[in-house]
């Protein structure tokens, strides 16, 4: 992964209700040099966004607290 992307400058927000998945993905991304934050729900992610300003957001398909798409 790091051969293709300068990961040291990218901030990633991982949003998923499965804690073990969040932890595993966070550890993987951090081992590649990414700055990673995580949230367990859509609402928690939205609360973190203003101070975090992530470059990439990884979102799980089942998002507790997410509003349905219009």
- Average pLDDT along the chain, 70 residues, taken 10 residues at a time: 61 93 95 94 90 91 57
| pTM: predicted TM-score of the whole model, two decimal places | 0.75
Q: What's the pLDDT at 2?
A: 47
What pLDDT score does 14 carry? 96
What pLDDT is attached to residue 60? 84
Say how far apart CA 18 and CA 50 lie, in whole Å. 23
Tell me, what's the pLDDT at 57? 93
Question: 3-state DSSP: the chain helix, strand, coil percent, rounded to 5?
Answer: 40, 20, 40
What is the rounded CA–CA span in Å between residue 31 and residue 47?
26
- Number of helices (H), then strands (E), in the chain: 2, 3
Q: What local confidence, expressed as pLDDT, does residue 51 receive?
A: 87
Q: What is the pLDDT of residue 38?
A: 94
């Amino acid at each position: 992964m790091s051969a293709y992307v300068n990961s040291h400058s990218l901030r990633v927000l991982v949003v998923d209700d499965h804690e073990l998945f969040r932890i595993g993905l966070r550890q993987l991304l951090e081992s590649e040099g990414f700055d990673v934050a995580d949230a367990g729900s859509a609402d928690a992610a939205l609360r973190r966004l203003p101070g975090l300003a992530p470059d990439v957001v990884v979102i799980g398909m089942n998002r507790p607290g997410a509003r349905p798409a219009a």
